[in-house]
Amino acid sequence: MKYNDIILRTQRNDTDSAISPGTRLLIRGGFMEQIASGIWITTPVGLMVRRNVENLVRKGMQTTGAIELELPILQPKTLWDETDRWQKYLKENIAFHLTDRKDNEFMLAPTAEEVITRFAANNLPTYRDLPKIFWQMTPKFRDELRPRQGIIRGREFIMKDAYSFNIDESSMAHSFDLMEKAYQQIFTQCGFDFVQVTADSGTIGGSGSAEFMAISDTGEDVLWCCQNCDYKGNQETFHNLVENATPECPKCKNTNLEEKRGIELGHIFQLQQTYSKLMNAGFMNSDGIKSFYWMGCYGIGISRIAQAIVEQSNDEQGIIWPLSLAPFTGVVIPVNTDKHLDTAINIYTQLQQAGINVLLDDRPKHIGEKLTDAELLGWPFQILIGKNWDQDKKLEVRQRWKKNYDREMFTQKDENSTPLATLTLTELQNYLVKCINNPNNQLC
């Protein structure tokens, strides 16, 4: 893609310093724009990031055999009354609700247990239909008490929610395990430094819940990690212990706990039969007796992921996208627009043809501005056509996540600074293809 084929506008002036680095960088880089409290525009390039997240999540869901569908966002009160959650959500003031022309009441769905349970009851009548996991990736609405930190806590956001339906407890636990493994894979592939913690089930209800937390100083949640065993827990689960003088690990009773902050990326619950019983939703078992579904539910904050990774992965110059989420693998930059643009177009075209998704910075700007933008926008690779090309047809390649390359001139200062100093086009292609095809998307 050429620069002008998409909206890429960066702000030279820094915005409010009271906001988190991720919020600040995504605004400065033009990945999102605010419209109201907790409501954001996803810009074209911001959407490219989110599509990458969505594709990773979709692949992860496929490994579990889960089936994708789409549930309505506008949901009738009558359905929510079946579980008594209409009351609950309105009382806590977190539901956006409205009435239609006939004065029937509706909610903009913050989650979808009721609808999916109804769907299951209609479509999974016997034990032969089980187990099944359904999932969707749709906008969700919550009138948050306090929206904050950009799209980390929005009032409109994209959530992946999945629901499993099982014949008994052990089957439910099996589905839970499948999802747990898929989540671990997804967050690893996204490039997160994350931990899995045991958590409180909150308003969703049920038991056996686990949260996946991205470690970040700007995180809203406090985690305690036992230094003695592998136990990691959300602070909420320590509540009764906090009131005592010294908190201890519930697993090994050790008191040496490390406190960290985290951003909740995903949360999985074993709902048991809470919803199926309330909604009288069940199946015929092999004995010909009606039984209630054993359920699990599994959420991932999709829109949140794009910002959470930036909270973790940034430096003075700007964003550092992991390869797996980057809108572009790299940017092709002619150092001198007059001299090198034709070559740059040529290189760009060949990389595209080799299946490498790169951006061409064909703007008639000074090299400094192009590099500053490349660093702010965080493309994993910067591919420069300059002196080395003039001399011996070599491209200069910079890796965004390596911090100590010489910013003034492209010169190799020490072994660790610029391991990929100069490459021929073929060498570069081979290298990039290898990186892209790495299943865990670890940067090479």
Of 113, 175, 386, 432, the one binding RNA (CB under 7 A) is: 386
**Residue 191 exposed, middle or buried by CB count within 10 Å (0-12, 13-18, 19+):** buried
171 counts as binding RNA under rule CB under 7 A: no
Among candidate residues 232, 162, 229, the one with its CA nearest the CA of residue 195: 232
Comparing CB distances to RNA, the nearer of 161 and 432 is 161
Structure tokens at 271: 């709902």
Q: In the range 180-219, which residues lie near RNA by CB under 7 A?
A: 200, 202-204, 211
Shortest distance, position 91 Cβ to RNA, whole Å = 12
Helix (H) / strand (E) element for 50: namely: helix 44-63
Of 146, 243, 288, 316, the one binding RNA (CB under 7 A) is: 146
131 counts as binding RNA under rule CB under 7 A: no
**Residue 307 exposed, middle or buried by CB count within 10 Å (0-12, 13-18, 19+):** buried
Shortest distance, position 86 Cβ to RNA, whole Å = 16
Comparing CB distances to RNA, the nearer of 242 and 444 is 242
Tell whether omega for the bond before 131 is within 30 degrees of 0, i.e. cis: yes
Of 138, 196, 388, 438, the one binding RNA (CB under 7 A) is: 388
What is the rounded CA–CA span in Å between residue 252 and residue 289? 43
10 counts as binding RNA under rule CB under 7 A: yes
Of 159, 162, 179, 306, the one binding RNA (CB under 7 A) is: 159
What is the rounded CA–CA span in Å between residue 208 and residue 205? 10
Q: In the range 235-264, which residues lie near RNA by CB under 7 A?
A: 236, 264
Close Cβ partners of 218 (under 8 Å, ≥ 6 residues apart): 20, 21, 22, 149, 261, 263, 311
Comparing CB distances to RNA, the nearer of 124 and 260 is 260
- Per-residue b/e over 86-118, b at no fewer than 16 CB within 10 Å? beebeeeebbebeeeeeeeebbbbbbbbbbbbb
DSSP 126: B
13 counts as binding RNA under rule CB under 7 A: yes
Q: In the range 261-300, which residues lie near RNA by CB under 7 A?
A: 264-267, 299-300
Structure tokens at 259: 């406190």
Shortest distance, position 337 Cβ to RNA, whole Å = 4
Which residues on adjacent β-strands are paired with residue 355?
Answer: none
Comparing CB distances to RNA, the nearer of 157 and 292 is 157
Of 256, 336, 349, 404, the one binding RNA (CB under 7 A) is: 336
Q: In the range 395-424, which residues lie near RNA by CB under 7 A?
A: 396, 398, 405, 407-410
Of 142, 232, 260, 400, the one binding RNA (CB under 7 A) is: 142
23 counts as binding RNA under rule CB under 7 A: yes
Of 73, 284, 367, 425, the one binding RNA (CB under 7 A) is: 367
Shortest distance, position 232 Cβ to RNA, whole Å = 16
Comparing CB distances to RNA, the nearer of 373 and 441 is 373
Of 89, 157, 163, 292, the one binding RNA (CB under 7 A) is: 157
Give 7-37 as a DSSP string. Answer: -----SS---TTS-HHHHHHHHTTSEEEEET
387 counts as binding RNA under rule CB under 7 A: yes
Of 221, 311, 361, 362, the one binding RNA (CB under 7 A) is: 221
Structure tokens at 428: 């570069």
Q: How many CB atoms lie within 10 A of CB 305?
A: 30
Shortest distance, position 289 Cβ to RNA, whole Å = 33
